[in-house]
Amino acid sequence: MKNSGLLIAAVVLAALAGVLYWSNHHPPADSTANASVDTPPKILSLKQEDISKVEIKKKGGEALDLAKGDSGKWQITAPKPLGADQEAVTSLLSSVSSLNAERLIDDKAVDLNQYGLAQPALEIDITAKDKPQKLLLGDDAPAGNAVFARLDGDPRVFTIASYSKNAFDKSASDLRDKRLLTVDFDKLSQIDLTGKKQDIEFGRNQQAWQIVKPRPLRADNFQVEEVVRKLREAKMDTSVSDADAKKAATAFASGTPVATAKVTDAASAQELQIRKNKTDYYAKSTAVPGVYKVSNDLGNAFDKGVDDFRNKKLFDFGYDDPTKVEMRDGAKSYDLTKGGQDWWSDGKKMEATGVQSLIDKIRDLSASKFVDSGFTSPALEVDVTSSDGKRVEKISIAKSGDAYIARRENEPALYQLDSASVTDLQTLAAALKPAPAAGKK
């Protein structure tokens, strides 16, 4: 047993000596070299702003050419001139300007046929400030979601991710501007709606919309902006067949006119005609050729009258903090002025909760409907000063049967109010009281 233990120990010692000898004669590989092997090779590294032209050529398919104009905007120049979707082109440029390989397959490729690169499936020609580049994409790699790729003039063959190829494999239909209206919606100054119910003109003063026709009226900015949003998002479906395109043109020609929207920016004006045929809506634009089926949501957006776009709120101060509120209810009078964070009346600090409830009720006063007559002698008057004294709004409210009729100072429009809203206003005003003295509850 003793001899057996000595033998095992001798074997273990010999093994350790062998490992030590091997390690001394095989030092670990340089960490920098390992890093270079593990880091994916860079195929393309360009600045997007330096790219002025991109040509995409497909084996057995239609070529696509993109060029950047003097204004900096991209256009499709082939197979035929078309406006380009700037966001879609930017996405393409992002992919093509910074392209990493997954692996280096062959550093000095001789036979390109085995990679499908002798006659590539996809060729992307890039015109840049420094020098032109030509990216060639071949067959799918046998393993993994990868594609063989190389730069023209470079002997190396790489693999890139399949999704990178998909980012380059675009057609004119993919990259064209699909908007039916191409004006600058951020700079709209006027919208004209010609419809079945009424002809309406909106004008924009700074960021606020107003109704100009059929007569000057306060507009509900949210409702007008909804129209702007729907017009901005109105797009064509470029995937339809020629047969379906002809059907759309026929349906439009025989359809019932719903509305015509004319939008005007700083540079131009464009029109969109919308018609309904049975249950479907179709649109024709002056900005792009053709007729296109559009969503019912777009068609219904314009089947409205002027009252649908009117501002039903009596006050415009919104969520600005008023600095002064004056209310006259018959023989009763309430005068509130803000000083610092507190409200005061006749030299007395007022209970904040009661004042805030009254302001909230004034802010929420809204018309239940619009009327043309019925205003008599005012029973109630409310004045609100806001925007650091720059805006003073005055309304008068008269009793009319079971309801009330209100009007704003210097405006002919009349607003019918529910009697409950006026009663609540009177109740809250009557409940105002001074704040408890310091140290008292």
Cβ contacts of 173 within 8 Å, gap of 6 or more: 238, 239
- Note whether 170 and 49 are same-domain residues: yes
In this prediction, residue 33 carries a pLDDT of 40
- Note whether 91 and 113 are same-domain residues: yes
- Note whether 53 and 116 are same-domain residues: yes
The sign one gets for the Cα dihedral 266, 267, 268, 272 is negative
Cis amide linkage into residue 81, ω under 30° from 0: no
pLDDT digits (tens, 9 = 90+) for 265-309: 999 999 999 999 999 999 999 999 999 999 999 988 888 899 999
- Note whether 210 and 139 are same-domain residues: no
Q: Which of 115, 145, 175 is the last residue of a domain?
A: 175
pLDDT digits (tens, 9 = 90+) for 67-87: 999 989 999 999 999 999 999
- CB distance 409 to 391 below 8 Å: no
Q: Which of 126, 150, 175 is the last residue of a domain?
A: 175
Give the structural domain span for 63: 39-175
Distance CA 81, CA 137 (A): 26
- Note whether 45 and 137 are same-domain residues: yes
Quote the tokens at residue 197.
Answer: 């119910």
For residue 117, is it within any domain? yes
**Mean per-residue pLDDT pooled into runs of 10, the chain (441 residues):** 47 44 42 49 93 95 95 94 94 95 93 96 94 95 92 96 94 95 95 90 91 95 94 92 94 95 95 96 95 91 90 92 95 95 95 96 96 94 95 96 95 95 96 84 55
Quote the tokens at residue 235.
Answer: 């797009």
For residue 11, is it within any domain? no
| Cross-strand bridge partners of residue 306 | none
For residue 31, is it within any domain? no
In this prediction, residue 439 carries a pLDDT of 60
Distance CA 401, CA 274 (A): 43
The sign one gets for the Cα dihedral 157, 158, 160, 164 is negative
- CB distance 84 to 175 below 8 Å: yes
- CB distance 52 to 127 below 8 Å: yes
In this prediction, residue 304 carries a pLDDT of 86
- Note whether 54 and 125 are same-domain residues: yes
Q: From the CB of residue 307, how many other CB atoms can be counted at a distance below 10 Å? A: 14
Query: What DSSP assignment string belongs to 17-75?
Result: HHHHHHHHHSPPPPHHHHHHHHSPPEEEE--GGGEEEEEEEETTS--EEEEE-TTS-EE
In this prediction, residue 440 carries a pLDDT of 57
In this prediction, residue 441 carries a pLDDT of 55
- Note whether 204 and 299 are same-domain residues: yes
- CB distance 191 to 263 below 8 Å: yes
For residue 25, is it within any domain? no
Q: Which of 278, 309, 340 is the last residue of a domain?
A: 309
For residue 19, is it within any domain? no
- Note whether 170 and 44 are same-domain residues: yes
For residue 441, is it within any domain? no
For residue 158, is it within any domain? yes
The total number of structural domains in the chain stands at: 3
In this prediction, residue 301 carries a pLDDT of 86
3-class state of residue 186 by DSSP: helix
- Note whether 166 and 51 are same-domain residues: yes
What's the CATH number where 415 sits?
2.60.40
- Note whether 91 and 167 are same-domain residues: yes
3-class state of residue 264 by DSSP: strand
- Note whether 193 and 251 are same-domain residues: yes
- Note whether 155 and 61 are same-domain residues: yes
In this prediction, residue 302 carries a pLDDT of 84
For residue 316, is it within any domain? no
In this prediction, residue 94 carries a pLDDT of 95
